[in-house]
C-alpha cells in the first residue's frame, strides 16, 4: 500500500481542503507508486499563509544564532538519512542515485552555510553629517516568503531558498513541484524534527494553477522565489510587479560549451557529456550547444558520438546506470519536438533521436 502524505500547515499534518489527491509514480517504472499526495487549492494556501503570518513575530524575535542552530540540526538529520532520501528522490524523478546523493548533500551543505550566517547578520554604522547624531542600519526580515521549486533538484533548490530565508527571520510557504513531492516531505520532516516552531515553514502540495498561482497572488505574501520555466516566470513577474511584491526568478537557459583547437579534448568531452546528459539533460545549465573550432570539429564530433553511444541508460537506482529516464511523458514529447525542429532547420541527426523502449 502506497504511503499517503499530507500538507504541513501551522505545525500540523493535514489533508487538503478539497479532499482530492494525486499519485506520484516512478518514471523508470510506472508500476512503482511512490506516494499519494493532496491536491490543494487556494483555501489551503490561505491557511498556510495565515499560519506563517501568525508565526512571524515570534520567529523574527528569535535570536539569529538560535535560528541557525535549528538549521544545523536539520542538516545533521539530512546527513543521517542521505541515502534513504536519495533513493526516494531517484524513484520519483529518475536521475541516477549518484546525482541524488549529491542533491541531498547540497541541502546538507546549505544547512551548514546558513547556520553560520546566523552569526553574521551584521548591520552597518555610518557617519552622520549632523552633530550629536549616530547612524546605523540593522537587518530586518521581509516577512512571509512563498517558495516555488522545480523537480530537477528536489532537495538542493528548496534548501537554497528556504534555509537563508529562515535564518534571516522570515517565515515560509513552500510549494514543491508535483513531480517530486516526496523529497519536499522529507525536508519538512527534517525541519520539524530539528525543532522548527509551528507555522514557520509550511508545505502545500498541488499544481501550479491550484497552489502556485494563489500563493503568488496572495496579499499576505511579501516575497516570491520561483525556479522554473521562462514562460511561467514572466507571468509571476507580472503579478508581483502589479503588487510591488519582492521577487526572485531563476528560469531557463541555452548554454554553450566553447572548445578551442588547443583544448584538452579528453577534458572537453568529459565536460560535454556531463553537461549534456547529467540529470538526463533536464536542468537550466545543461550544455545544449557545442561551439567548436573547425580544425577539431570532425575529431571531437566522432569522439563525442562514440562516448555518448556507450552511455548506459536505465533505472537510476542501478549503480551502473549513467542516464536515467526523462521525468514524464510531456518531457519526452518535448524532446522529440526539439529533435524534429533541428531536422527541419537543416541539422543532421547522427545519433539517437528516438524514444528508447527500455534501458540499455
Which residues participate in catalysis according to the annotation? 250, 284
Cα gap 284→278, rounded to integer Å: 11
Q: How far apart are CA 251 and CA 238, in angstroms?
A: 15
Kind and range of the H or E run holding 149: none
Helices (H), 62-180: 64-80, 82-93, 97-117, 156-167
DSSP run (H or E) holding 276: helix 265-277
Alpha carbons 186 and 264: distance in angstroms, whole number: 42
Alpha-carbon distance 278 to 50, whole Å?
A: 40
Handedness of CA 154, 177, 11, 215 (dihedral sign): positive
What gap in Å lies between CA 313 and CA 320, rounded to an integer? 9
Where do we find the cell 509551528?
A: 198
CA dist 85 and 252 (Å) reads: 27
Rounded Cα gap, residues 107 and 333, in angstroms: 31
Query: Is the CB of residue 314 less than 8 Å from the CB of residue 360?
Result: yes
Q: What is the Cα–Cα distance from 115 to 109, expressed in whole angstroms?
A: 10
Q: How many CB atoms lie within 10 A of CB 198?
A: 16
User: Nearest CA to 46 among 239, 225, 218?
Assistant: 218
Spatial separation of the C-alpha atoms in residues 330 and 339, rounded to whole Å: 14
CB atoms within 10 A of CB 243: 15
Cβ–Cβ under 8 Å, residues 157 and 143 = no
- The radius of gyration computed from the CA coordinates of the chain, to the nearest angstrom, equals 23
Amino acid at each position: 500500500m502506497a504511503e499517503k502524505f499530507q500538507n504541513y500547515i501551522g505545525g500540523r499534518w493535514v489533508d487538503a481542503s478539497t479532499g482530492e489527491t494525486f499519485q506520484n509514480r516512478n518514471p523508470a517504472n510506472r508500476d512503482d507508486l511512490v506516494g499519494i499526495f493532496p491536491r490543494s487549492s487556494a483555501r489551503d494556501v490561505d491557511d498556510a499563509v495565515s499560519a506563517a503570518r501568525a508565526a512571524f513575530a515570534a520567529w523574527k524575535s528569535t535570536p539569529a544564532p538560535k535560528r541557525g542552530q535549528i538549521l544545523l540540526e536539520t542538516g545533521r538529520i539530512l546527513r543521517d538519512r542521505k541515502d534513504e532520501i536519495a533513493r526516494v528522490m531517484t524513484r520519483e524523478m529518475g536521475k541516477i542515485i549518484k546525482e541524488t546523493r549529491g542533491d541531498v548533500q547540497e541541502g546538507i551543505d546549505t544547512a551548514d552555510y546558513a547556520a553560520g550566517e546566523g552569526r553574521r547578520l551584521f548591520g552597518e554604522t555610518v557617519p552622520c553629517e549632523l552633530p550629536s547624531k549616530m547612524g546605523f542600519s540593522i537587518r530586518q526580515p521581509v516577512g512571509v516568503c512563498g517558495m516555488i521549486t522545480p523537480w530537477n533538484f528536489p532537495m538542493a533548490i528548496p534548501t537554497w531558498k528556504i534555509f537563508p530565508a529562515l535564518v534571516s527571520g522570515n517565515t515560509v510557504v513552500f510549494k514543491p513541484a508535483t513531480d517530486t513531492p516526496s523529497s519536499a516531505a522529507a525536508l519538512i520532516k527534517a525541519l520539524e524534527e530539528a525543532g522548527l516552531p509551528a507555522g514557520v515553514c509550511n508545505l502545500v502540495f498541488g499544481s501550479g494553477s491550484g497552489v502556485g498561482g494563489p500563493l503568488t497572488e496572495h496579499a499576505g505574501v511579501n516575497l516570491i522565489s520561483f525556479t522554473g520555466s521562462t514562460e511561467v516566470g514572466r507571468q509571476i513577474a507580472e503579478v508581483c510587479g502589479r503588487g510591488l511584491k519582492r521577487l526572485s526568478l531563476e528560469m531557463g537557459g541555452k548554454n554553450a560549451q566553447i572548445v578551442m583547437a588547443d583544448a584538452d579534448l579528453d577534458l572537453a568531452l568529459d565536460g560535454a557529456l556531463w553537461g549534456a546528459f547529467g540529470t538526463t539533460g533536464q536542468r537550466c545549465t545543461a550544455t545544449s550547444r557545442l561551439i567548436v573550432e573547425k580544425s577539431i570539429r570532425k575529431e571531437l564530433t566522432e569522439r563525442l558520438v562514440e562516448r555518448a553511444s556507450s552511455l548506459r541508460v536505465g533505472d537510476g537506482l542501478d549503480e551502473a546506470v549513467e542516464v536515467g529516464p526523462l521525468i514524464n511523458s510531456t518531457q519526452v514529447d518535448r524532446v522529440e519536438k526539439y529533435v524534429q525542429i533541428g531536422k527541419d532547420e537543416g541539422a543532421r541527426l547522427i545519433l539517437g533521436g528516438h524514444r528508447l523502449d527500455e534501458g540499455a
